[in-house]
Every structure is written in structure tokens, then in C-alpha cells.
Amino acid sequence: MAVHAHPDDESSKGAATMAKYVAEGVQVLVVTATGGERGDILNPKMDTPENVANIADLRRAEMARAREILGVQQRWLGYVDSGLPEGDPLPPLPEGCFALADLDEAATDLAAIIREFRPHVVVTYDENGGYPHPDHIRTHEVTMRGLEIAADAPASPVLGEPWQVPKVYYHQNFHRARTVALDAVMHENGLESPYRERLSNWPEDPRQAERLTTFIPASDYFGVRDDALRAHATQVDPDGFWFAVPLALQQKAWPTEDYQLVESHVPSSLPEDDLFAGIPTTCADKVDEWYYTI
């Protein structure tokens, strides 16, 4: 189970990993906390008054297309996008938005899905949200609390049988070492790198490297990831930043998607190359049918 804040997050964070596991027969569920109703239109080709007026419906349609491309199941948690406050001082968050939702109420909603789906692995954002968007930070908080509620037998018995998720991960794909590698491969091939300015203001931090525990070889599915990203046409410019590094160079320079193992109830040996490492294979309906869920 991958828990995300907005439609399009599932396609920009861990999408190749999900596509890889789907191809291997894993059941994958994306839980999307909000509808992305307050998102801006970031693709100039889609920035029309009609699309602005219909952004909520457009983002749901884009999510439907992306989940079809990735081959995943998907559920809406049902909250309203908080927007990204800007300014100094920052304006207050809009009333009724996800970032202001009651933590236990939202976490209980997620716990019900966890108990129903019974994932072996849950992936979400770190305590900083991956980046400090209020919905991303709330997604982290709701996910971690939801895991606790789902595993607690006395908690909300009406939600169904308790379920202890064996392994929990944070997305860590946007780290400096990967960016350095992509920047270098662009220069080696005589191309202009989109990362020069970012790297000049990004000091090395050994603590970030220490968070990288798990490297999933997913380069064969980078194309699927990119197709899913393009499905979010209001959010992703097909001629923009996300596609500035040619696919073959990405596969060469950094062929993995990367994670931090933050909770494990099974034996774990680091580093890993499989989110399911250490989890006993689970028997399905017959002895020769085996499956995992994420």
C-alpha cells in the first residue's frame, strides 16, 4: 500500500517500483488522501479557463488513467486538498482542508483500509513530507497513526480484524547522490543538465545518505512511470523538468528507486533490494499460488 497526498504523487514517487511489483503478481493499492482540488495547472498547454473551472473532475480522470497504466488499485481517503500556502507571513490554511483534519479521525479512516487490504508493506513520506507541503506532512502523520490503530486489537473493532503491517518505508528517491549521478551523465553526453543550479545550493549531508536503506532495481519500468506521469496532464508538462534527462541515461546513471526502512517486524538485513525481503511468502488459495500485497 502506497499512501499519497494528491493525484500525481503516486506517479512521481515510487511508480516504477509499483509497476515492477504489479508485473510480478503483487497486489498494489494506492490510497490518495485528497482530490488535488486546489492544485495549480502546471502544464501551459492545459492552462485554460475551462480546465481551471473543472480541475477537480480533471484530476480524478487523470488519476483513473494513471492507475490503469500502473496496474494498481486505488482508493480515495476523501479529504480536500489544502493548497500550498505562499507568502511571508504564510496565510492560514483553508477551513476543512486535509492538513487541518482531525488526526485520529483521518488515521482511523486509513486504518479501516489497512485492515481490509492487509498489506505486507506500506510506503509513505518521511516526517518532512518529502518536501514541506502541508498535505504531505499530514499524510505522513495520518499514515503512521493509521498503522498504529490498524494493529491495535482493542482499537475500533468495527474496523475489522487487526493487521500489523510487517514493513514500513519512506520514499527517499529525491536525494543528492542520485541528482549528482544524473547531472554527471548529462554532462558526459554533452547535454545541458537541469540540476546545475539545484546542486550548487545543495550541500552534502551524510545524514541523508544514512537514510537510504533499500534500492529497488526498477529501471525497466521507468517508461511506465513516465507514461503514468504524463497521464496527469494538468500537473506535468511533457516538455518540462520531469523528462529533461533522456530515459536511457536515467536507466544508466541511477537504475533504482530508493527507500528508507523505518519499521520492520521481520528480520531485516541492510541494504535491501526488495521491499518484501524477510517477509515469509503467504499462501493464497492453493499451495502453488503465492502473493504479496503492497
pLDDT digits 0-9 by tens, 61-99: 999 999 999 999 999 999 999 999 888 888 899 999 999
Q: Residue ranges for the binding site?
A: 6, 9, 136
Q: Residue ranges for the binding site for Zn(2+)?
A: 6, 9, 136
Give me the residues of the chain with pLDDT under 50, please: 283-290
Q: Are 2 and 266 in contact (CB under 8 A)?
A: no
Q: What Å distances lie between residue 243 and 49, 229, 238, 247, CA to CA?
A: 26, 10, 7, 8
Q: What is the pLDDT of residue 285?
A: 33
Q: Which residues contact 18 (CB under 8 A, 6 or more apart)?
A: 2, 10, 28, 30, 70, 71, 72, 294
SS3 content of the chain, % helix, strand, coil (to 5): 40, 15, 45
C-alpha cell at 50: 475551462
Nearest Cα to Cα of residue 12 among 234, 269, 230: 230
Structural domains of the chain in order of their starting residue, each with its CATH number: 2-174+211-247+256-291 (3.40.50.10320)
- Residues above pLDDT 70, as percent of the chain: 96
Q: Is 267 exposed, middle or buried (0-12, 13-18, 19+ CB in 10 A)?
A: exposed
Question: CA-to-CA distance for 115 and 113, rounded, in angstroms?
Answer: 5
Per the DSSP assignment, residues forming a β-bridge with 257 are 216
pLDDT digits 0-9 by tens, 119-159: 999 999 999 999 899 999 999 999 999 999 999 988 777 78
